[in-house]
């Protein structure tokens, strides 16, 4: 499921997702052997395809992109697992808010879980600025990926959020 539709569904997700991501991030920091907090990486322009990955237990998240213009930008990635091990999250964002790079492509892929919610943003919240989501036609969501939609994506990306359901053994 990409962004939920309908006002009541949107409000429920809008309240749930930030809370879930905060819980997952806190739990990730507390996991033995897990890297606490977010990990920084450079998003490099030049038109070449680059990737950055993080893993936590049986789950991983990989951000693959190509961009043009400007110089390197510092971005962050955070992965987490819910307390009940039912959800895996991956957040990728530019802490300064808006990226000035021209993204020709992007894809975030999770392994070990299936995407339940995903959203892409042209601007990340910082200071008095709010998140500005991409239009639904600019990106697509499958069970394991969030990626640009060829011919529809307007080349602006500053944040990706993914919440994925982990497989559970039913008794």
For 29-54, what is each residue's pLDDT tens digit?
Answer: 434 334 447 999 999 999 999 999 99
Record the pTM: 0.80
Q: Is residue 138's pLDDT more than 80?
A: yes
Residue whose structure tokens are 């790079």:
101
Residue predicted with more confidence, 3 or 88: 88
Alpha-carbon gap, residue 10 to 170, rounded angstroms? 30
pLDDT band (50, 70, 90) for residue 59: very high
Give pLDDT, residue 7: 44
Q: Is residue 1's pLDDT more than 80?
A: no
Give the DSSP per-residue string, 75-86. EEEEEEE-TTS-
**pLDDT, tens digit, for every residue of 68-99?**
998 999 999 999 999 999 999 999 999 999 99
If you average pLDDT over every residue of the chain, what do you get? 85
Report the alpha-carbon angle 54-63-89, nearest 5: 55
Give pLDDT, residue 168: 77
Give pLDDT, residue 2: 55
What mean pLDDT do residues 143-166 have?
A: 98
């Amino acid at each position: 499921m990409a962004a939920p539709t309908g006002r009541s569904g949107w409000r429920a997700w809008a309240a749930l997702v930030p809370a879930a991501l905060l819980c997952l991030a806190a739990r990730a920091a507390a996991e033995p052997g897990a890297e606490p907090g977010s990990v920084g990486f450079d998003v490099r322009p030049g038109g070449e395809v680059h990737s950055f990955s993080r893993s936590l237990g049986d789950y991983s998240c990989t951000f693959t992109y190509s961009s043009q213009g400007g110089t390197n930008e510092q971005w962050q990635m955070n992965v987490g697992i819910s307390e009940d091990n039912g959800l895996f999250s991956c957040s990728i964002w530019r802490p300064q808010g808006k990226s000035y790079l021209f993204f020709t492509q992007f894809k975030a892929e999770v392994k070990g879980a299936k995407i339940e919610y995903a959203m892409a943003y042209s601007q990340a919240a910082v200071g008095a600025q709010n998140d500005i989501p991409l239009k639904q036609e600019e990106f697509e969501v499958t069970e394991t990926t969030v990626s640009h939609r060829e011919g529809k994506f307007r080349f602006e990306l500053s944040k990706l959020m993914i919440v994925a359901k982990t497989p559970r053994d039913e008794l």
